Each structure stands twice: as C-alpha cells, then as structure tokens.
Amino acid sequence: MASDDMDVVVLGGGMAGLTAAATAAAGGRKVLVVEKSAAIGGSALISGGIIWSPESVEAYRRLDDRSDETLIRLAVEGIADGLRWVAGLGAEVSEDFRLDHVLHFPSVARRFDNHTYLHQCARLVERAGGHVVTETNTTTLLTRDSRVVGVRISDRDGSTDVLAPWIVLATGGFQGDPELRAEFLGPGTRELVLRANRASVGDGLRLARSAGADVAHETSAFYGNLLPTGLPRPFVDGDFLRLSQYHSIHSLLLDTNGDRIGDESVATT
C-alpha cells in the first residue's frame, strides 16, 4: 500500500466508521478503514438494528436541555435521507414504528438489516479502490506543522505509515476502559457492568488528545440500561439485547438497602 495513495483514513470499522467510509467512497474517494478487531461491525453487530430519531428538536430538548441542539437537528432533519441511503445499499428497512414508550419522548424508528448494511459499506469502499483491514492497530497520528497528516498502523507484519488529507476517528466510546470512565464520569464508575462492545476502550480519544485535542463538552451524564443482578458470569456480547435493551424497561432500580431509587418509567441520565 503506497503511503500517499489514500484520500481518507477511517479508524474504526463499526457503524459510524463504515458509514463515513462508504459515503466518502461513493463520492469518488479512495478510503482506508482500519479495524483492530478480527471482524468489522463493532457494537452495531450486537444491537437490535434500529435507526431512530426524535420526532422534533423541541421534544428531545424537553427531556435533555443540555444536549447539542445542532446535533439533534441533524438527527431529526437527516433521518429520511439516511434511511434512503441504507435502503439504497440493499439493506432491508422496516416501516415506521414508535419508540415513545421506551425513550419517553416522541420518537420514530425503523428496523434495518445491520449485518447486510455493514458489509455493503465495506464492499463499496473496496469497489472504489480502497481497503478495509482488520486486526490492525493505529499506534500514532502523524502530524506536520500542527496538522494531522496521516496514521501509523501496525499488524502482524509490522508497521506502516499511511498519509491522507483526511483522518476520521470513529473508534467508538471509552466505556470499555475503567480508568477513562473514572476520569470523565467519576471514580464510582470503575465498577460499572459493561453492556457494550469491549473493544471500545477510548482509542480515538487517546489519539486525538495525543495530537493536541481536548474534550469539548462536560461528561457528567451517560446513557445506560438496567441489568439483572446476580449473573454467575461476566456480561458478554450475547447478553446485549436479551438482558439489557429488552430487559431494562421491565426492571426495578434498587439501592443497596433494597429500596426503590426512582421511577424507572422516566428516562434519565
């Protein structure tokens, strides 16, 4: 692979990374997708395969007035185009259904074939002359004159420097790293049960900070689901839907004395 032969490098082969990569490839760009796991997909492969959006910006802001209104507006106004894009890649998309009873604000959703979608994104990248590589780590963001100009990646064959004018960090969150949870969410979160892709340990965050970036917003809140207690084993990927997303709305949240903490029917962060 010639180091100067890429227009875009995307770090992370999950839903965000592959969508960004496929979009760039559809625009005629040659893209390299770097995924550290053995297969593409990330957390999307263990999710329920649902694309949803608030029905309006105002509806969501009534629940969370600290949210970024620009991002919420993009979700509301962009969902129709996003669904057409998914369907255009050959992934089956369902009819609309409501999620108000789960999210506790007016919201609309559709199910889609997430496996087909992810692999069609990868094929689009490769048909446009790009590459999707797995079991490959990104060790360094390469900089020149205070600009990020490429990445250093490594696999079982050694290290390679890849130069590109655009680098997209799409490596997932930092929820898999207890120390980063403690830094951003408080020391008590070190012991939280992880109900997500275990590979999301803050790689993109570390790379960005190493190149001089900083966290833009406060991080005192996070999204989670209620989980059953007393599992005789660690929480694993196969439990993601059955014991978290589908279980949570039927759960009670109790403190260590066995007293109910609040009303679980009201979504909170």
pLDDT in tens, 59-101: 888 888 888 899 999 999 999 999 999 999 999 999 999 988 7
According to DSSP, the residues that pair with 112 across neighbouring strands are 93
Q: How far is CA 194 from CA 148, 149, 234, in A?
A: 32, 34, 9
Report pTM: 0.88
Mean pLDDT value across the chain: 88
In this predicted structure, what is the pLDDT of residue 268? 45
| pLDDT above 70 as % of the chain | 93
Question: Does residue 229 register a pLDDT over 80?
Answer: no
pLDDT in tens, 201-214: 999 999 999 999 98
Neighbouring residues of 26: CB distance < 8 A, sequence distance ≥ 6:
124, 128
Question: Does residue 51 register a pLDDT over 90?
Answer: yes
Question: Does residue 37 register a pLDDT over 80?
Answer: yes
DSSP string, 195-237: -S-TT-SSHHHHHHHHTT----S-----------S--SS---G
pLDDT in tens, 232-256: 877 777 787 777 777 766 777 788 8
Strands, E, within 112-262: which ranges? 131-133, 137-144, 147-155, 158-163, 166-169
Question: Could you tell me the pLDDT band of residue 179, with boundaries at 50, 70 and 90?
Answer: very high
For each of the domains in the chain, give its residue range(s) and CATH number, in order of start: 1-49+113-220 (3.50.50.60), 51-107 (no CATH), 224-269 (no CATH)
Backbone angles phi, psi at 241, to 5 degrees: -80, -50
Question: Could you tell me the pLDDT band of residue 266, with boundaries at 50, 70 and 90?
Answer: low
In this predicted structure, what is the pLDDT of residue 212? 92
